[in-house]
Amino acid sequence: MAEIKAIGPVLPGSIVERSTRCQSSGCHCRADPPRLHGPYATWMHQEGGRQVTRTLTQEEAERLRPLVAADRRLRALVAELESLTVSELAASGSETTQRVGKTRRQSGI
Ligand SMILES: [Zn+2]
Is 35 part of any domain? yes
Ligand 1: distance of its center to the CA of 18 in Å?
14
Q: Is 108 contained in some domain?
A: no
Write out residues in the chain with pLDDT < 70, as ranges. 94-109
Tell me what pLDDT residue 97 has: 57
Residue 102 lies inside a defined structural domain of this protein: no
Q: Is residue 29 part of a domain?
A: yes
Residue spans of alpha helices (H) in the chain: 2-5, 58-91
- For residue 50, the CA-to-ligand 1 centroid distance in Å is 26
The pLDDT tens digits for 26-54 are: 999 999 999 999 999 999 999 999 999 99
Identity of residue 101: G
Within-domain flag for 103? no
Q: Ligand 1 center to residue 35 CA distance, Å?
A: 8
Collapse the DSSP code of 96 into the 3-class scheme (helix H, G, I; strand E, B; otherwise coil) and give the result: coil
Domain extent, residue 68, equals 14-87
**Helices and strands in the chain, H and E counts:** 2, 3
- Say how many domains are in the chain: 1
pLDDT of residue 94: 62
